[in-house]
Amino acid sequence: MELNQVRYFVTLCRLLNFTRAAEACNVTQPALTRAIQRLEDELGGPLLFRERNLTQLTELGREMLPHLEAMVGAADTAVSLATAKLTQPRASLRIGLGPGIGATAIAGAVREVARHLPNFLIGFKEGGPAKLAEAMLGDALDCALLPAGCIVPDRLNRWPLYSEAAVVVLPADHPLTACKHLTASDLLDETILLGDSCGGFAERLGIETNLSFRIQYCTGSITQMLDLVGAGLGLALIS
């Protein structure tokens, strides 16, 4: 199986027209047709229905398409990485940070990498688990720190790094102040403030416990959020 055959097939699946696919691949239509036929021979069956001007995928073609797309994507990624390696001597590490997750836990590891790589460039991107996973699959991120309970595609490897405790901040006269320890279910009837500064724990708690909490979204610094807690607007979860 040749990569050009796979690339021609993926392009043809996108355009569903032999003439336009040949133009997009910069080959003649007979050459594209022969390449598709050789690919079908290797896979053991027809990948496309050809009826005059109508081109459609067979069941085998539909099943094979995502795997062949992955082959093309992997090849393109390899070329991009090789080009970057040759043309960009500066090493880089792009790290995603999930809701409420800081870089403290990996600061030591990053420092060691930077010690061995001169001109090391590190970048962070904050976002939800789904967007960060998509960025990793699209080669926009190298890795990400995500909540333990979030769902990520099977193509991504995952390892547990650490566990982290959260502190519930309450108004001074709140009934829960009498409790030394609180569980997720204790907070179900409470309003939890959620913001960029410290509210990510609420999202993570919801993901990991599969519970739905009453959320009040707000923006501002952690000091401003704590002022809102003191005013009785809700509770806050911080590390």
pLDDT at residue 152, as a whole number: 86
167-238 adopts what CATH topology? Answer: D-Maltodextrin-Binding Protein; domain 2 (3.40.190)
3-85 adopts what CATH topology? Answer: Arc Repressor Mutant, subunit A (1.10.10)
Low-confidence ranges of the chain (pLDDT < 50): 199
pLDDT at residue 199, as a whole number: 46
The encoded tokens of residue 76 equal 């393109």
Ordered DSSP codes for 106-170: GHHHHHHHHHHSTT-EEEEEE--HHHHHHHHHTTS-SEEE--TT----TTS----------EEE-
- Which pTM does this prediction carry? 0.47
What's the DSSP call for residue 196?
A: T
pLDDT at residue 88, as a whole number: 64
Cα within 13 Å of Cα(84), Cβ side:
10
Each residue's pLDDT tens digit, 39-95: 999 999 999 988 777 888 999 999 999 999 999 999 989 988 888 777 766 778 899
Residue 161 CB partners (closer than 8 Å, separation 6+): 105, 106, 145
Q: Where are the domains of the chain?
A: 3-85, 92-145, 167-238
pLDDT at residue 204, as a whole number: 65
| Whether the domain at 92-145 and the domain at 167-238 fall into the same CATH topology | yes
pLDDT at residue 208, as a whole number: 67
Do 141 and 93 contact (CB within 8 A), yes or no?
no
From 48, 35, 38, select the one nearest 7 (Cα to Cα): 35
Q: Which CATH architecture has domain 92-145?
A: 3-Layer(aba) Sandwich (3.40)
